[in-house]
Structure 1
Amino acid sequence: MLAITCLPAQARDRRTVAEPVAPNYVCARLAPSGENDTVTLQDAVAQCPPGSAVYLTGGIFLSGPLEMKSGVTLWIEGGATLMALAQPNAYDKGRGSCGRIEGKGDGCRPFISFSKARGGGIYGEGIIDGQGGALMVGATESWWQLARRAQAEGGNQNVPRLIQIDHANDITFHGITLRNAPNFHVAMNRVESATFWGVTIDTPAGARNTDGIDLGASQDVTITHCQIRTGDDNVAIKAGSNGPTRHISITDNYFGWGHGMSIGSEVSSGISDILVHGLTLDGTTSGVRIKSDVGRGGLVEGVTYENVCLRGNRWPINFDTRYDVQAHGNKIPVYRRITLRHVRGGDGALVMHGLDRDHALEIVLDDVRFSDSATWQVENANVVISGVWPPLRGGQGPLSSRAWDGCAGAFRQPLSKALNGLAPR
């Protein structure tokens, strides 16, 4: 079903965002001890005043969980690595479940938490390493192996997230590299105003549930000049029962392996006003993706993708309302005012599946061109077409049979801070 739908939406972070500048005042300058630095690091954060930074000099700092303070920045210089202990009891929430497979997850504290913080963040050219592939202390498997065993046997792995930002405002990440998270690299819940500028996230493709940046119930967030490759969604925008997510800008980024630029699957509180501009997706399984079902659906509207380049994707476009085909419920996924403009790609399946005729997708395709071998899979969708290749059934203006011009020289290339040192597995 193809028909005329509405006009493109306006969408973006409502702030004026400029490249962040690190604090002028360093209140503590630390060198690694060669042993467990948790107490030293936590004491420095606690004693520093708002507007200042804890500065980590070259070497490896080994630490357990850290809690950040409002207005305090963790500044990790180039050549320095903050490494998470692979020790389940250091993260356990008191139930003895961290590092185990159980019916419930969420048994571990995050490595770094920003809870009810106002201001502050993480800066520098250094590295935060979650040691997801290292053997857990007292165990014969890594965090990642535990997650794969949970997938095979059933149950939930209890493993720590690398960074959790919860009920926070004005948080900034600049220049830092995050790698080898046991679970999500950055998870956000009820965050207002956050900036991720020039961040690198680098984790093997086979590391289960290692999303790059997850936004939940948040607003006015910008992710820009970042490069992300990981074992799950490169970026995921969510809105479960905890509140809506809106006014998000994802601009000038490069994604390597992963599951793509995702919205969902939890969208029951509504997602709106999303701008994705200047994105290259190189070898992600899905490219631009909206996923939900009747168990967790809701309204997704006002999403604009423009100047997007897709290479080596199985599903370059994947807008699906049946993410879990076994789902039951009455939370209807509705996607409307979704615009794709100046999008280029190769082959693969181009999926637009609305739930039914009464809840058809509303899509605008403006200058969207893939190779001759790409295939459209369209059900229950109202689509405006302008300059689309391969053609959709329903007709459009004339196009040359060689209309696809590939991604060569288009929009984005990998950033100068190269991803290296990891192979997909």
Structure 2
Amino acid sequence: MKASVQTLAPRMKHGAVMISCLALSLVLVACGGGGDGDSGVTYSSAKPFQVGTTAYDANLPAEPTLPADTQVCATLQASDTLIKRPDGALPPEADPSVAGAGVAASAATTNPDQARIQAALNACGAGVETEVGAAIANADAAAAALQIAAADPTKNIAGASGEELAKPQYKATKYAVRLTAGANGGNAFISGPLTLPSGVTLWIDKGVTLFASRDVMLYNLPGKYCGNTAAPTTTTTAAKAGSSGNCRPLIGGDNLVNAAIVGDGAIDSRAYAEIVTTDKYYPIMKVNETCSNTYAAYQKGTFAAEGTPCDNGGTVVNRTTTVRNMTWWDLAMKGNMVDNGTTGSGSQSCFRMMVFNYVKNLTLYRITMNNSANFHFVPSGIDGLTVWGIKLQTPSLAAFANPAGNGNPLYNGDTFNEDNVKNTDALDPGSASKPTQVALTTGATNVLTTAAAGAAKPTTTWTTTTTTSAAKMYFDGYLKNVAIVYNYVSTGDDDIVLKGSNNPSPTGSGLPGIDGNMDVRADRKYGITIAHNHIYWGHGISIGSETNAGVKNVHVYDNSFNGSEEGLRIKSDYARGGEVSNIYYDNICIKDSTNALLFTPYYSTKALPAAGALIPNFHDIYLSNVRIQDKTTLKLMGFQANTGGLGNPQYPLVMTLKNVVADSPTSMNLIASDANLTLSGVNLPIVASADQRIVVSGAASQAVEAANVVDCSRAYVDFPSPTSPGGTTW
């Protein structure tokens, strides 16, 4: 990492404290992240870098902005019958649960706003296409023609870059749909799944929350079943483990240019609340693990007899029980923890908050995201991903308040904690599976169809039909030009994780699925930057567990971890491993973490793929100016030769640690094996070991003063939201 100097901004950035590196000292302080293996990173006892206070970073592109009023296509006001409580939850009477099994909830109360929000998005998308669609298509065609003429077999045809399409001539005069408070106090919307059109920004005002509908019927994909821990297809009754792939996301969008979700309002998926159904025949699991029906009977529009074995992951049909329905998080606990612990293959069909695929320029800005039923944000194949100034917290105070009025903890009696609200990853960017040429999505229509009784298909089906642009565009499938910065993240699983599962590279090109040096834009220094974030509950900043497509050239700097289960983490296993290299961690504070550093190729014992083992190989990993506070565990592990009798060579963890220190080095619990470690200014208990195949260059010393390496005095702040269970002084 080249030494750099932070600059004071003329004003406070959103979510950042104004003052950092107050003055230049005689020794330059490494203040801006990124790195190389031996970059001359140093620290000054007078002015060590102060984590968590950076206001301006010249390595980053410009901060996004909210739309102007003149750029709004439509403004929708919240109904004055929907007023959330101070804890952020809707009161039970807003969309009440229904008593008894086999009783349908009201569509009018479970989904009052989806149609009007989608209609506004569609109209805005159509306007964008009319105004700038041709300009975007022409730019893409011209760029693609040059790329095709170049005939480079190592590169996908990408068409116009996200950098080019970010220019003003490709943005419509009006492009935003704004959700605002009602005239008489209404501040909430309840909606089923929404499709974000190309070129459109969804803007949620401060104090306004978009709540997910609790009606499971809205999330079913055709031929699949959502809301279970085991789900047969519509043509078989053979139960299979649940999957989030059975469910529509709350907000989705594929094949987009210049799309965004912004504002100082919130989105709450309400995974803590009882699931309901507007189709009385649809199977719902109860907290005593019985079910209201079977899918086999549902397909015929009938009820199964009492005591019939469930096929949704429950035990037997019981419509006389008075216990409550399960919540999405109940399903996640049962499928992911209880069932998986028994069978090794359990899962759950819970909807994700946001899923986007193939986008040139996608932005989340200042929005608050709470209580997703599964992953919060899954963007794949994005050129120009910006996540700036968001607040993401799961579970929030609303979850503990249980607004459905049922006073429920998890179905097994547990109350929410950092490790039992499962699969609620916050930010999961990755590459897409392949390049594509497709028309842009300009709108969507949701159609409800009801089959006749006795038909061999679901009685109620929601089908989404998209409208598209006239011309097709190229997307190369890579994840590139990523800035995840100035965010506050607390969740029940990974906080920020790069997923290296898909590789769109041409066969034989040797390119990884994720490479931060690919097509780096002129407005930034690094292609993948994760910086200036405050991390709370969760599994920290991770790479993996899928690394089979390869991940390289990632810059992680000026981040704090307060109470996270993990801090810095690379994880994989021989079922989905691959090469991870040139990862740079700089200027980090970690406090009260279970595993401050966790680098392991033994993440799980999943079955090997048919093609054979995919072995993890983590090398050229650089840590500099990292301070660890409080007792914790450190895991530094490579892959041992001939693991499991595979006959593989050793793939050691190759890591350089420079100025990596603990306040109490004797309280560190180190687990290490198969590692080649280079040390400088390190006080951790790292020593060479022939038995554990650990090779050390340099030596650790307790003479290093942790306080001189990095300043953590202002790194840890309360979560900046009045709905935080831990409170806030913000």
For normalisation by structure 2, the TM-score amounts to 0.55
Relative distance call for 1:242 and 1:415 in structure 2 (3 A) is: farther
The structural deviation recorded for 1:415 is 7.4
Moved more, 227-236 or 100-109: 100-109
Q: What is the CA distance between 1:120 and its match in structure 2?
A: 1.7
Which residue in the other structure is 1:386 paired with? 680
In 1, Cα distance between equivalents of 2:370 and 2:360: 24
**1:93 lines up with 2:221 in the alignment:** yes
**CA positional deviation for 1:23:** 2.7
Instruction: List alignment gaps of at least 5 residues for structure 1.
Output: 1-5
| Structure 1 stretch displaced more, 305-314 or 48-57 | 48-57
> Is 1:144 aligned with 2:329?
yes
Q: Return the alpha-carbon distance in structure 1 between the equivalents of residues 723 and 580 of structure 2.
A: 35
Match of 2:205 in 1: 77
**1:178 offset after TM fit, Å?**
0.3
Q: Is the 8 A contact 2:60 2:483 kept in 1?
A: no
Deviations 1:23-62 (A, max 9, x none): 3301101102345110100010010133411011021011
Matches of 1:161 and 1:398, distance apart in 2: 44
Paired residue for 1:115, among 254, 266, 278? 254
SS at match of 2:121: helix
What is the aligned partner in structure 2 of residue 3 from structure 1? none
Aligned twin of 1:413: 716
Task: Look up the equivalent residue of 1:128 and give its one-letter code.
Answer: I
Whether 2:594 is the aligned partner of 1:314: answer yes
Q: Secondary structure at the match of 1:156?
A: coil
CA shift at 1:423, angstroms? 5.8
Cα deviation digits, residues 365-397 of structure 1 (max 9, x gap)? 000001221132221111110000124214746
Question: Out of 281, 288, 293, which is 2:561 matched to?
Answer: 281
SS at match of 1:41: helix
CA radius of gyration, larger in:
2
Letter paired with 1:350: L
Amino acid of the residue matched to residue 100 of structure 1? N
Match of 2:100 in 1: none
The match for 2:273 among 105, 130, 134 is: 134
1:308-363: CA deviation from partner (whole Å, max 9, x where unpaired): 11011111010001111455342111111100000001221111110026311110
| Native 8 Å contact 1:73 1:123 kept in 2 | yes
State the Cα distance separating 1:197 from its structure 2 match: 0.6
Name the counterpart of 2:583. 303
Cα distance, 1:284 vs structure 2: 1.0
Deviations 1:173-210 (A, max 9, x none): 11000001010010111111110110010002331100
Establish whether residue 230 from structure 1 lines up as the match of residue 471 from structure 2: no
Q: Which amino acid aligns with 2:639?
A: L
1:278–1:79: structure 2 CA closer, same or farther, 3 Å change rule?
same
1:26 aligned onto 2:72 = yes
SS at match of 2:122: helix
Q: 1:121-142 deviations in whole A, cap 9, x for unaligned?
A: 1111000000110101144011
Output aligned runs, 1:245-264, within 5 Å: 245-247=514-516, 248-264=528-544
- CA distance in 2: counterparts of 1:37 and 1:15, whole angstroms: 41
Task: Give the alignment partner of residue 120 of structure 2, picking from 18, 37, 44.
Answer: 44
Counterpart Cα distance in 1 of 2:347 and 2:602: 23
- Quick one: structure 1 residues 415 and 167, their matched pair in 2 at CA, closer, same or farther if it must change by over 3 Å? farther
Q: Trace 1:367-386 onto structure 2 (pairs within 5 A).
A: 367-370=659-662, 371-372=664-665, 373-386=667-680
Which has a greater percent of strand?
1
CA-based RMSD of the aligned residues comes to 2.4
Judged with a 3 Å threshold, the aligned counterparts in structure 2 of structure 1 residues 300 and 402 are, in CA distance, closer, same or farther, namely closer
Give the letter for the 1:90 counterpart: L
Q: 1:207 aligns with which of 389, 407, 421?
A: 421
Q: Is the 8 A contact 1:375 1:390 kept in 2?
A: no
2:683 and 2:723 map into 1 onto residues whose CA distance is: 35
Letter in 2 for 1:365: L
Q: Higher helix share goes to which structure? A: 2
In structure 2, C-alpha distance between the alignment counterparts of 1:318 and 1:408, rounded to whole Å: 22
Do 1:350 and 1:375's aligned partners in 2 also have CA atoms closer than 8 Å? yes
- Residues 263 and 367 in structure 2, CA contact (< 8 A), matched pair in contact too: yes
Query: In the TM superposition, what is the alpha-carbon distance from 1:159 to its structure 2 partner?
Result: 1.0
Identity %: 31
- Equivalent residues of 2:589, 2:712 under 8 A apart: no
Counterpart CA distance in 2 for 1:187 and 1:30 is: 27
> Alpha-carbon deviation of 1:165?
1.2
Q: Larger deviation: 143-152 or 37-46?
A: 143-152
Deviation at 1:416, TM superposition (A): 7.8
Helix, strand or coil: the match of 2:532? strand
Q: Aligned partner of 2:549: which letter?
A: S
What number of residue pairs does the alignment pair up? 416
Deviation by residue 1:281-314 (Cα, 9 ceiling, x = unmatched): 1111111000011110111011001111101111
Deviation (angstroms), 1:92: 0.3
Find the residue that maps to 1:134 and give its secondary structure. Answer: coil
What residue in structure 1 maps to residue 195 of structure 2? Answer: 67
What per-residue deviation string (whole Å, max 9, x for no partner) do you get for residues 74-107 of structure 1? 0111011111001111010023511112224111
1:325-364 alignment to 2 at 5 Å? 325=605, 327-328=607-608, 329-346=612-629, 347-356=631-640, 358-364=650-656
Q: Provide closer, same or farther for how the CA distance between residues 196 and 398 of structure 1 changes in structure 2, counting only shifts above 3 A.
A: closer
TM-score by length of 1: 0.92
